[in-house]
Amino acid sequence: MTKVAFYNSPKVRSAIYQLAVVATIIWFGVEFAINAKANLDAQGVRFGFRFLDDPAGFGISQSLIAYSEQDTYRRVFYVGLLNTLLVSVLGIVFATILGFAIGLARLSPNWLLARLAGGYVELVRNLPLLFQILFWYLAVLIALPGPRQSIGLGVQPFLLAAADGFSWLERYGVPAAIAQSWRGLADWVGPPAIYLNNRGLIMPRALFGEGSGLVAAMLALAVVLTIGLRFWARRRQDATGRQFPIFLTALALVVGLPAAAFLVAGTPVSFEAPVLRGFNFVGGTRVLPEFTALLLALSTYTAAFIAEVVRAGVLAVPKGQTEAAMALGLRRGKVLRLIVVPQALRVIIPPLTNQYLNLIKNSSLAVAVGYPDLVAVFAGTTLNQTHQAIEIIAITMAVYLLISLATSLAMNIYNARTRLTER
Amino acid sequence: MKRVISVLGLVLAVAWSGQADAQTLKTVRDRGALLCGVSQGLPGFSNPDDKGNWTGLDVDFCRAVAAAIFNDPSKVKFTPLSAKDRFEPLKSSEIDILSRNTTWTSSRDALFNFVGVTYYDGQGFMVRKGLKVNSALELNGASVCTQTGTTTELNLADYFRANNMKYEVVAFGTADETVKAYETGRCDVFTTDVSQLYAEKLKLTNPSDHVILPEVISKEPLGPLVRHGDDQWFDLVKWVLFAMLNAEELGVSSKTLDAAMKTKQPEIRRLLGLEGSHGEQFGLTRDWVVRIVRHVGNYGEIFERNVGASSKLGISRGLNRLWTKGGIQYAPPIR
């Protein structure tokens, strides 16, 4: 072995260069921290998280937990986080359902269906999302009337119309009692309990009284029984080939058990109907138009991308599989459900995870329509009032990172289960 | 090896450049233009026309500072900023003055320097005439549209809580979206500073269908701000405002300027730099007030031109009158 000076050895040189790069990066980090601290001190801004205990002082239009203006900024953070999670989870669910439907529709042998699906994908994919959010918001708002002219959704208007019809028929000898009985029925049904206007969809609120815990317990029991039933039915089918009507049984359990508990406990759940008083409806719960517009825009936008991912996955399955399934006599729907899509899932899941993460991050555009998500109330209003920019942005970025990592983790676990197991 | 060392050296030089402080006047002079942060379009305060020329009360103030420094009111570059993002550019020296109808509050004063009050304002409410509401105390249960990131949300919460009224707040990122939501009927009430209410009312499709309620629920002294850490710049900008107020108090306007230059009154002579060297104490020239009044005008002139009787807004002087006329605009003397 030739003796070489240590500074000419490739290994030593490589080590020195790598150490130098690491040292430079660490030094940059330290310089940044020192510089930031000096600037903040010069401007009199305290670095710290004590601002989280200060009272917020502003209202939030939608909150899944109790919130009032005197609550702290920490509570504002939780409210914003829950709002973001709500719109993200529902958006993912709807986008997946819609995306799968459109993706499979684009592959349909029906010419019109395929072209319509293709047109939808091309249109929605190529328009900016912010533009689509504003479009849905204005379309929803402009189409709906104000609170005093709300659209009431219920049976009573139809019953009253029927009663009016029978009253008009009285001149032809129809007895007046018929119209009266219809009116009596309308009275018993009562005014509509669901209203639609440009402040939102207003529904009765459930008030849980004594004994409603039993109903909830029965519901949980029904869910557990359904899961157990599914495993048992699967094993029975594998062993003997006999199928079991799982869906109907599950439906009966989930509806029947809580209903029985409801009656036994003496109807503990009552409903508080909304009433128009002054400017708005009082009582009941409300689905905000901001939430609806954001959800619609996110779902339709991401669905277009998911449709293409699904289409790619289905096309990746060898054609021989479809031909073999058809040769066995399966119809197209069953072929898709039992043979093609399970194999296509291997190709679909990684890009699908991408689309889910995109949807979660795109939900931060909520501030454009006044939906109080995490970025709008925390990284927007709170930052503007407390000026603690570094802490707030760091917290917000950490939260989005955690949500995205959790989603990727869940999808990767599912991916591992659907992978081809090589022998 | 040589390349590595030179790159390292460049990196070190960049990192050690530090931040500029107490040098704003020099930087502005060297640059040849003043960088002024304004709103994204508020008639009367800072609004671009379709050719991109900015007009307004806040705009004229920046032009006055530019006139004092450069003898040319056009040497200003305007940066439109939303309410949410208006403070960071000032903090990071991307703009020299923030002249964007900003309320002087204690929490903001702790981070910046307010040079004075160009407009004493307050928060009010605008509703549709069809609602037949005559007072803000009748707004129990209403939906209110507001812009996020402003003191408006806080004042709104305080007022409704103090009067035991319930409300629903819908907060948007920009003023345009807020007004659009109010117009489509999403909310019953639009709330912001009264001067902005007048300005936004002009932009509605049917301005006469809306009415501004009489209640003024907060103190909103609006004024320009500069950064902490540069006393010379702070004093200079502060005294441009005081000069304009003193000019109006002494009856010196752009029309009477030439006659005033021949006066024997000592106060006016000091104001116009015919005696004493007051301008030079701020790093300007002796005729700094002459420059301001000739190119832009005194406080009364810029008020009337932009928000007063001769403008589309038609707001009366009210509290913004001089102290000699019953208002509260009062400037320290130049001597």
Q: Summarize pLDDT for A88-132 with one digit per residue, the tens.
A: 999 999 999 999 999 999 999 999 999 999 999 999 999 999 999
Mean pLDDT of A73-97: 95
Domain B13-120+221-325: top CATH class: alpha beta
Q: Is B87 on the interface with A (CB under 8 A)?
A: yes
Please give the Cα distance from B52 to B199 (Å, whole number): 19
- The residue type at A49: F
Beta partners for A203?
A285
CB contacts, 8 Å: B188 with chain A = 279
Confidence at A167, pLDDT banded by 50, 70, 90: confident
Q: Are A129 and A362 in contact (CB under 8 A)?
A: yes
Residue B94's contacts (CB-CB under 8 Å, 6 or more residues apart) are B35, B79
CB contacts, 8 Å: B135 with chain A = none
Strand-strand pairing, A275-277 and A280-282:
antiparallel
Of B298, B291, B296, residue with least CA distance to B70: B291
Is the alpha carbon torsion for A79, A82, A86, A92 positive or negative? positive
Q: What is the separation of C-alpha A117 from the centre of its chain, rounded to a whole number of angstroms?
A: 23
The CATH classification number of A73-141+293-418 equals 1.10.3720.10
Strand-strand pairing, B142-147 and B123-128:
unpaired
Of B146, B249, B140, residue with least CA distance to B192: B146
Confidence at A68, pLDDT banded by 50, 70, 90: confident
DSSP string, A357-371: HHHHHHGGGGGGGT-
CB contacts, 8 Å: A43 with chain B = 91, 111, 228-229
Confidence at B69, pLDDT banded by 50, 70, 90: very high
Spatial strand order of the sheet with B123-128 comes to B167-172, B142-147, B189-193, B123-128, B210-212
Q: Which residue of A has its CA nearest to B111?
A: A43
> Does B13-120+221-325 match B123-218 in CATH topology?
yes
The shortest C-alpha distance from B179 to chain A (Å) reads 12
- In A125-245 the beta strands, taken as DSSP E runs, fall at 151-153, 194-197, 200-203, 205-208
Q: What is the separation of C-alpha A41 from the centre of its chain, rounded to a whole number of angstroms?
A: 42
- Say what the pLDDT of residue A329 is: 93
- Residue A275, number of CB atoms within 10 A of its CB: 12
Considering only CB atoms, A381 lies closest to which of B153, B167, B184, namely B153
Q: Are B191 and B146 in contact (CB under 8 A)?
A: yes
Of B1, B105, B85, B86, residue with least CA distance to B37: B86
Q: Is B91 on the interface with A (CB under 8 A)?
A: yes
Please give the Cα distance from A16 to A28 (Å, whole number): 18
The shortest C-alpha distance from B66 to chain A (Å) reads 26
Please give the Cα distance from B199 to B298 (Å, whole number): 22
- The residue type at A74: R
Please give the Cα distance from A177 to B22 (Å, whole number): 92
Q: Which DSSP category does A25 fall into?
A: H
Q: Are A190 and A274 in contact (CB under 8 A)?
A: no
Considering only CB atoms, A198 lies closest to which of B131, B156, B185, namely B185
The shortest C-alpha distance from B171 to chain A (Å) reads 5
Of A130, A66, A58, A69, residue with least CA distance to A377: A58
Q: Which DSSP category does B329 fall into?
A: B
Of A286, A226, A280, residue with least CA distance to A251: A226
CB contact under 8 A, B186 and A39: no
Mean pLDDT of B67-95: 92
> Domain residues of chain B, as ranges?
13-120+221-325, 123-218
- Say what the pLDDT of residue A423 is: 55
* The two three-digit tokens of residue B172, written as one number: 């948007």
Of A334, A317, A316, A312, residue with least CA distance to A325: A334
Quick: pLDDT tens for A201-258.
888 887 777 777 788 888 888 989 998 988 888 888 888 888 888 888 888 888 888 8
CB contact under 8 A, A289 and B186: yes
Mean pLDDT of B174-199: 89
Q: Which residue of A has its CA nearest to B162?
A: A69
Beta partners for B227?
B112
Identify the burial level of A126 via C-beta atoms within 10 angstroms of its C-beta, where 0-12 means exposed, 13-18 middle and 19 or more buried. exposed
Q: For residue B20, is pLDDT > 50?
A: no
Q: Which residue of A has its CA nearest to B149?
A: A381
Residues of A with CB under 8 A from a CB of B: 24, 28, 31, 39, 42-45, 57-61, 69, 138, 141-142, 146, 198-199, 277-280, 282, 289-290, 367-370, 372, 376, 380-381, 384-385, 387, 389
Size of interface A-B (CB pairs under 8 A): 110
Of A87, A68, A91, A65, residue with least CA distance to A78: A65
> Could you give the angle at the alpha carbon of A58 between the alpha carbons of A283 and A140, nearest 5°?
55
- Say what the pLDDT of residue B239 is: 95
- Say what the pLDDT of residue A192 is: 80
Considering only CB atoms, A58 lies closest to which of B88, B154, B168, namely B154
CB contact under 8 A, B186 and A367: no
Of B193, B11, B175, residue with least CA distance to B101: B193
- Say what the pLDDT of residue A422 is: 62
Mean residue pLDDT of chain B comes to 89
Helices B288-295 and B231-249, interaxial angle, to 10°?
Answer: 60
Percentage of residues in chain A having pLDDT higher than 90: 43
Rg (CA), chain B: 22
Considering only CB atoms, B173 lies closest to which of A28, A368, A385, namely A368
- Say what the pLDDT of residue B60 is: 96
- Say what the pLDDT of residue B62 is: 96
- Say what the pLDDT of residue B266 is: 92
**pTM > 0.95:** no
Considering only CB atoms, B149 lies closest to which of A31, A372, A380, namely A380
Q: Which residue of B has its CA nearest to A283?
A: B141
Of A201, A414, A383, residue with least CA distance to A295: A201
CB contact under 8 A, A369 and B177: yes
The shortest C-alpha distance from A361 to chain B (Å) reads 18
Locate all alpha helices (DSSP H) within A265-288, ordered by sequence.
none
Considering only CB atoms, A57 lies closest to which of B19, B21, B154, namely B154
CB contacts, 8 Å: A389 with chain B = 88
Q: Which residue of B has its CA nearest to A28?
A: B15
Q: For residue A308, is pLDDT > 80?
A: yes
Q: Which residue has the tokens 């205990």?
A: A53
- Residue A29, number of CB atoms within 10 A of its CB: 10
Q: Is B159 on the interface with A (CB under 8 A)?
A: no
Of A335, A347, A353, residue with least CA distance to A412: A353
Q: For residue B1, is pLDDT > 80?
A: no
CB contacts, 8 Å: A16 with chain B = none
Phi, psi of A22 (to 5 degrees): -60, -45
Q: Is B22 on the interface with A (CB under 8 A)?
A: no
Q: Is B149 on the interface with A (CB under 8 A)?
A: yes
What is the helix, strand, coil percentage profile of chain B, to 5? 40, 20, 40
CB contact under 8 A, B172 and A367: yes
Q: Is B139 on the interface with A (CB under 8 A)?
A: yes
* The two three-digit tokens of residue B38, written as one number: 């304004």
Considering only CB atoms, A58 lies closest to which of B153, B188, B228, namely B153
Mean pLDDT of B162-166: 92
Considering only CB atoms, A279 lies closest to which of B8, B143, B170, namely B143
- Say what the pLDDT of residue A160 is: 85
CB contacts, 8 Å: B82 with chain A = none
3-class secondary-structure state, position B170:
strand
- Say what the pLDDT of residue A257 is: 85
Q: Are A168 and A249 in contact (CB under 8 A)?
A: no
Q: Is B276 on the interface with A (CB under 8 A)?
A: no
Q: For residue B73, is pLDDT > 90?
A: yes
Q: Which DSSP category does A382 fall into?
A: I
- Say what the pLDDT of residue B146 is: 92
Q: Which CATH architecture has domain B123-218?
A: 3-Layer(aba) Sandwich (3.40)
Confidence at A333, pLDDT banded by 50, 70, 90: confident
